[in-house]
Amino acid sequence: MAMSNHHPHAHDHDRCIADALSRAEALCADRGARLTDLRRQVFELVLGSHRPVGAYDLVARLGEVEGKTVAPQTVYRALDFLIEQGLVHRIASLNAFVGCSHPGTDHAGQFMICNRCHEVAELGDPAAIADLAARAAAQGFKVDTVSIELTGTCAACRAG
């Protein structure tokens, strides 16, 4: 899952993943969506690092776990499902994926990406998105999707 306002090594990582998996299972069950074994494995691998992970990295990791070749298209389908369910976000500038810090809520991605450690933190500011959408609408533009990516240096790297 994307980090909040702390360095990811300062928390119980196994507990973080277990909690996220539990929430994902509950969300999918409530929606009648199937969190298949493969989708669960892909989600767990995305959560395994607080850094964005590419689809081909996931293919390689799944191959290591499964001991067999997994087609990239299979991983992309699993990622599409996880994105549709609001469990994973795509970081467009990195062509990579991170777990969602606010699963179960409909929201646009707003990310802080550290240029040094490559950690990603998700912001949850619906008012900022609403303001941007209103400004776009005032100019006759209809917004379909929003993803905001801020790059810079995180607090942990600045302090170190």
* pLDDT one-digit tens code per residue, 50-79: 689 999 999 999 988 777 788 999 999 999
pLDDT at 81: 96
pTM for this predicted structure: 0.81
What is the C-alpha to C-alpha distance for residues 158 and 155, in angstroms, rounded to an integer?
5
Secondary structure letter of residue 119 according to DSSP: -
Domain boundaries in the chain? 8-159
The two beta strands, 96-99 and 109-114, are unpaired
Which CATH code fits 8-159?
1.10.10.10
CA 158 remoteness from chain centre: 24
Residues 6 and 101 sit within 8 Å (Cβ to Cβ): no
Residue type, position 52, single letter = P
Closest by alpha carbon to 153, among 116, 121, 123, 120?
116
In which residue ranges of the chain is pLDDT below 50?
1-9
pLDDT at 43: 95
